[in-house]
Structure 1
């Protein structure tokens, strides 16, 4: 692969962090972290990370941060528009942390086609459990931020992701990598970070069948 100047579609979670790590290790250059923000609560879609924590992460990674604010019905158009702007700024590709859900890849590929930018999926079709083990073994640190209560109890919230926790998640009948949405993580330290992100746990909440770790 030629050396890329890429935008990272970033969630602050483990899969996008591992994809970012691989791209940097291969000599590609990240121009920005692109994170979509829910206008209603000023936190990231899906992982519920506050904008303050996102800025801390971007500063530690030493990568510019681009926040894309949108409502739910604006999400698709806002994503494509942002990619077009990045294309004008010199980006030739956008990187995603998706593993093997074809509908996700199709959606990302369409948004990139609309912006005339190349989609890259560094983790695609690799073994899910191997990927989560790679993330852990590389030295990244992540806390479990959200759980789908259909699969995992709120007791998992705030747990540091390690091999032992992955085994417990498997025994609960959930996917070890959480690729089906069983859980989401907040990555706060690791080989890409200049310093760890500090945070304080405020509460564990339950809403719409999801457990959410509230942090400050």
Structure 2
């Protein structure tokens, strides 16, 4: 049975940890599937530029499979890219979701449409345990986006460590950010050939969200 998979990749801690677990279990990634806004130079949700995504792809030595789409065509374009991955030998698509059932159903439905398996290595894991596993594994990630209803913009650019996790927890937020409290961008760790050097250009506020503007 083929152990090749395509990774539904955000550039954040959860999808990176899921990727790490799969590789440790003997699976081979054939590509990083990343959804990107058609009208902009950034990924959906985490707002990471194509330039940075290419750097991550080079450092991980895994090809990038960009899905450029508008909201209305998100599912269609995602499925098209899954079909390409299947043609390249992938029998499964891996996701970094933890315990939100609607997310799991979406992943499984998309995979079922193309005859692939949806694998969620973090599923039903304790959220706090998963954050510490990520940190203890040697990964380094910066907080890229925050929901200002939950976290102050001062968290932007901070490296996620035990102290920051404690601060997030004390504010009554989910330490994993699974409810959208924050998103991260992973810059280094055991899968990386070299660290992604970033320049912090400032903070952009868009309604309820603060986003760290970064570049190479």
In 2, the alpha carbon distance for the partners of 1:3 and 1:182 equals 37
Matching of residue 56 in structure 1 with residue 51 in structure 2? no
Partner residue of 2:214?
215
Partner residue of 1:83?
82
The structural deviation recorded for 1:39 is: 1.0
Query: Would the aligned equivalents of 2:8 and 2:95 in 1 still touch at CA under 8 Å?
Result: yes
In 2, the alpha carbon distance for the partners of 1:136 and 1:208 equals 30
Unmatched 5+ residue regions in structure 2? none
Secondary structure of the residue that 1:158 maps to in structure 2? coil
The structural deviation recorded for 1:208 is: 2.2
In 2, the alpha carbon distance for the partners of 1:192 and 1:182 equals 26
Matching of residue 116 in structure 1 with residue 150 in structure 2? no
Partner residue of 1:189?
188
The structural deviation recorded for 1:84 is: 1.3
Query: Would the aligned equivalents of 2:95 and 2:120 in 1 still touch at CA under 8 Å?
Result: yes
Query: Would the aligned equivalents of 1:11 and 1:35 in 2 still touch at CA under 8 Å?
Result: yes
TM-score by length of 2: 0.98
Partner residue of 1:42?
41
Query: Would the aligned equivalents of 1:3 and 1:27 in 2 still touch at CA under 8 Å?
Result: no
Secondary structure of the residue that 2:146 maps to in structure 1? strand
Task: Let me know the Cα RMSD of the aligned residues.
Answer: 0.8
Q: How does 1:12-23 map to 2 (within 5 A)?
A: 12-23=11-22
Secondary structure of the residue that 2:62 maps to in structure 1? coil
In 1, the alpha carbon distance for the partners of 2:112 and 2:68 equals 21
Q: Deviations over 1:96-143 (max 9, x none)?
A: 000000000000100001111110000000100000000000010000
The structural deviation recorded for 1:3 is: 5.5
TM-score by length of 1: 0.98
- Aligned pair count reads 215
Query: Would the aligned equivalents of 1:144 and 1:185 in 2 still touch at CA under 8 Å?
Result: yes
Partner residue of 1:201?
200
Matching of residue 134 in structure 1 with residue 133 in structure 2? yes
Query: Would the aligned equivalents of 1:9 and 1:35 in 2 still touch at CA under 8 Å?
Result: yes
